[in-house]
Amino acid sequence: MKVHIVDYGMGNIFSVQKKLLQEDVSVTVSSKANDIDAADKIILLGVGHFKKAMDNLHDLNLIEPLSNFALVKKKPILGICLGMQLMTKCSQEGGKVDGLSWIDAEVKKFTTSDSLQFKIPHIGWNTVQQVKDSRLTQGLSSNEEFYFVHSYFVEPGSDDLILHQSSYIQNFCSAFEKENIFGVQYHPEKSHNAGQLMLQNFLTL
């Protein structure tokens, strides 16, 4: 099986790559459309600005091959952190910037609270509450902890999309699932055994 990590100049590819290489799969990392076309599964990760990420995907001519993979071929694709956010319609980050529009959702910024406990960015370990059954979360306990680093969150247009929900200042969608398209706000590659189990589940989809 070929898993492809899209390299579009945004973020920590090494960690995810290392975690995947512990499993019995071949991993490609590149910014080439060919590798997207040849892949069985894709991971879209990223940290940084939404607008810059979309600009990079656009400049590298990757939007069409990615959309073809996700919407026409309907093969499994997992968005992590900013990668999850890019799958939505638009983000508040950097004005109102269009996303890949695969998922009916918008990306919003946490509103500042007065609480000294809940500052922004949301950095650290938080529990996720499972909202619907999924093959991605098989074997995970019902109140698993994952590692988060983000200031913006995904607000789905429909509750049916929500896979995990978490609470920080407010409740927010920490994972979504729509057919073959998965997005997680947290970092499975940095989340001890639970994270590795989730990546294994993704590989067996």
Residue positions annotated with a catalytic role: 81, 187, 189
> What does each C-alpha distance from 7 to 46, 83, 85, 88, 102 come to in angstroms?
9, 11, 16, 19, 20
Supply φ then ψ for residue 113, to 5 degrees: -105, 165
**Quick one: 164 or 190, whose CB is closer to another protein?**
190
Minimal distance in Å, beta carbon 183 to another protein? 17
Classify burial at 9, counting beta carbons within 10 Å of its beta carbon; exposed 0-12, middle 13-18, buried 19 or more. Answer: middle
Output the smallest distance, CB 127 to another protein, in A.
Answer: 5
**139 contacts another protein (rule: CB under 8 A):** no
C-alpha span between 162 and 153 (Å, rounded):
13
We find the least distance from the C-beta atom of residue 17 to another protein, in angstroms, to be: 9
The reply to whether 119 sits near another protein by the rule CB under 8 A is: yes
Q: Which residues contact 130 (CB under 8 A, 6 or more apart)?
A: 137, 140, 142, 163, 164
Would you call 199 helix, strand, or coil by DSSP? helix
110 near another protein (CB under 8 A): no
- Binding residues for another protein restricted to 157-176, rule: CB under 8 A: 167-168
Comparing CB distances to another protein, the nearer of 14 and 38 is: 14
Which of 131, 188, 153 is CA-nearest to residue 50? 153
For the window 19-58, what string marks contact with another protein as x by the rule CB under 8 A?
----------------------------xxx---------
Q: Which residues bind another protein (CB under 8 A)?
A: 11-15, 18, 47-49, 112, 116-127, 147, 149-151, 167-168, 187, 190-193, 195-196
